[in-house]
Chain A
Amino acid sequence: MSNVSNAGTLKVRQPRRIGWLVWLFDWIADLGAVVSQWTADLGSLSIFSFQTLQWLLTRMPRKGTLIPAFYQIGVLSLPVVALTGTFIGIILAVQSYSQFRMMNLETRLGAVINMSLVRELGPVLAATMLAGRVGSAMSAELGTMRVTEQIDALESMGADPIHYLVVPRFLACLILIPALTIMADFMGVVGAAYYSVYMLNIDWFHYIHNSARFVGNFDLFSGVFKSLFFGAAIALIGCHRGFHCDPGAEGVGRAATMAFVQCFCTILFLDMLLNIVLESTYTMLWPKSPPLI
């Protein structure tokens, strides 16, 4: 009887203990799988980036592949980037005006708006916009090519898919995303100036004078310099996700979403890293000047 009772007790308790342990082991296994997947993805992206750079340095792509990529990424993105820049400038003016007015510093509004635009908001928001427009589109396009065996067809005909498909897109992003960032900065500055002068009635002369005094060449340089890295990251991540797309419509959709999420996180991470580097460089070059950040 006691055996039976012991067995009975065990029968009640054992599943609970095992269930808890199984849950723990499953959780550890899942965590391990996620970490291992991330590591594999990072390794694969690094090899992919290395191969792209290798092709870039050994053989330039043909004009026939470069021009459509430049048109798709540069020309077609122009309206949306210009619009984004203008709105950011106006929003900054609207948000800052009342607080600056309380301190009677309205004429300094241009300095703050332009500084934020040129150094931070212009490059980051333009890159975010382009991560959605260009990064996801590249990922979906190359993903569809992967799923429909077009990338295999390229390879089977002796054409390297990275040289043929990735290098033109990488070059277009590397050259045109900084150009689009300058466009976003310009439109933001113009939008903010127009709203401040014509809607908020701030004195034009003082607005321009203060803006010119506070925004220096290094601010302009730092924004454009960062956008070079953002452009490279958008191209590499977008193309890499497309190349490693899972089969089917769901796979293509997931690749496009993942491309945007990864581009966005990478842009913010690179922004943080580059700000630290640029701040240190600025302090090293001009030790007596006020800090950049």
Chain B
Amino acid sequence: MVDRTSSHEPRQPLLRIEQLSVRFGRQQVLRDLHLEVARGETVAVIGESGCGKTVLLKSIIGLLRPIQGKVYFDGQDIYRMNRKELTRTRVRFGFLFQQAALFDSMTIAQNVAFPLRQHSTRPEHEIRDIVIARLAEVGLPESILSKKPAELSGGMRKRVGLARALALEPELMLYDEPTTGLDPIMSDVINELILNTRRRHPVTSIVVTHDMHTAQKVADRVVMLYPLNRLGPNESQILYNGPPQLLESAQDRRVRQFVRGEAGERLMELRALNGATKYEG
């Protein structure tokens, strides 16, 4: 069921996650998760809402602290780093947030220039040139430089978020549901941008998504997580870890159901719940 001995060629992993467990109060979201991502690889993490995909991304970059486990980035444990080391390491990451998380109070130019101003002493004209180049890479014109994020559409905001994440040419890109809330055309534009980014820069990527089209198109490998409350005590949270082409023929029924978008036993649960409500009423 869990294919931890992936058939991919052995490369030095840029990222290694060992026995990662995350809990919020009484609710455990991740349990003993083990995952390796090789340098240059694109891994899509799929799974239904609430299975801990975003929590995994935020734990990788140290925004959330696990109750147990380690995350090694380029051989160094993220959770053992002091503030300065963590800041230096985070500069090597790029994070595209679900809603882009652009700073409302700043213009588009200031948003994209933010990491450059924060971590470099480049002159202003050079920063402006980089900002324009990054925006051009994601297909956005110079005319939006002085606009505020609220003036842009969802797709444009995502692209500005991508330009900002790429500003410092990161080694590891983390995409949190990059196509959620976008129309199919814009979703494909974002998928193409993820592929283009990989062609232009030697970047390793983790793409969290529940859009199967994105997973199939951009990923070298797909990892499927499953919600802990639906798993047995000794079951691994990773139901699938392998190439995207074999997803539909996966041994586990739950993987096939997710890929095909079949509700399966969830419908019966819903009916049972409705029946119980009617009976109580």
Contact = CB atoms under 8 A, between A and B. Distances in A.
Interface of A: 68, 144-145, 148-150, 152-153, 155-160
Given A158-B87, A158-B88, A160-B83, A152 B58 contact: yes
B118 A157 contact: yes
A155 B61 CA distance: 9
B227 interface: no
B243 interface: no
A153 B101 contact: yes
23 contacts: A145-B104, A148-B99, A149-B97, A149-B98, A149-B99, A150-B102, A150-B103, A150-B104, A152-B58, A152-B101, A153-B95, A153-B102, A155-B63, A156-B93, A156-B95, A157-B90, A157-B115, A158-B88, A158-B91, A158-B119, A159-B114, A159-B118, A160-B87
Contacts of B99: 148-149
A160 B119 CA distance: 12
Given A158-B87, A158-B119, A160-B83, A152 B114 contact: no
A160 to B, nearest CB: 7
B90 A158 contact: yes
Interface residues of B, number: 23
B114 A157 contact: yes
Nearest to A151: B101
A55 B63 CA distance: 19
Interface in B87-138: 87-88, 90-91, 93, 95, 97-99, 101-105, 114-115, 118-119
Given A150-B102, A157-B115, A158-B87, 10 more contacts: A148-B99, A149-B101, A152-B97, A155-B63, A157-B91, A158-B88, A158-B118, A158-B119, A159-B118, A160-B87
A152 B95 CA distance: 10
Q: Which 4 A-B pairs have the closest CB atoms?
A: A153-B101, A149-B101, A156-B95, A158-B90
A152 B118 contact: no
Given A150-B103, A150-B104, A156 B90 contact: yes
Nearest to B116: A157
A156 B226 CA distance: 26
A158 B63 contact: no
Query: Most B CB atoms within 10 A — which of A145, A158, A159?
Result: A158
B126 to A, nearest CB: 18
Contacts of B95: 152-153, 156-157
A125 to B, nearest CB: 30
A251 to B, nearest CB: 15
Contacts of B103: 150, 153
B114 A156 contact: no
A148 B101 contact: yes
A102 B58 CA distance: 71
A124 B259 CA distance: 62
B97 A153 contact: yes
B140 to A, nearest CB: 18
A145 B106 CA distance: 13
A68 B106 CA distance: 12
A284 B150 CA distance: 59
A270 to B, nearest CB: 31
Nearest to B103: A150
A260 B146 CA distance: 35
Nearest to A152: B63
Contacts of A150: 101-104
Contacts of B119: 158
B148 to A, nearest CB: 13
Contacts of A159: 114, 118
A149 B90 CA distance: 16
Contacts of A152: 58, 63, 95, 97, 101
Contacts of A155: 63, 90
Contact of A158 (B97, B105, B115, B164): B115
A155 B104 CA distance: 16
Interface in B215-238: none
Contacts of A148: 99, 101, 104
B123 to A, nearest CB: 16
A158 B84 CA distance: 9
Contacts of B105: 68
A157 B88 CA distance: 10
A106 to B, nearest CB: 52
Contacts of B118: 157-159
Contacts of B87: 158, 160
A160 B101 CA distance: 16
A150 B105 CA distance: 11
A150 B150 CA distance: 14
A56 to B, nearest CB: 15
B104 to A, nearest CB: 7
Nearest to B88: A158
Interface string B245-272: 0000000000000000000000000000
A68 B77 CA distance: 38
A158 B92 CA distance: 9
Contacts of A68: 105
A148 B102 CA distance: 9
Contacts of A156: 61, 63, 90, 93, 95
B269 to A, nearest CB: 26
A150 B118 CA distance: 16
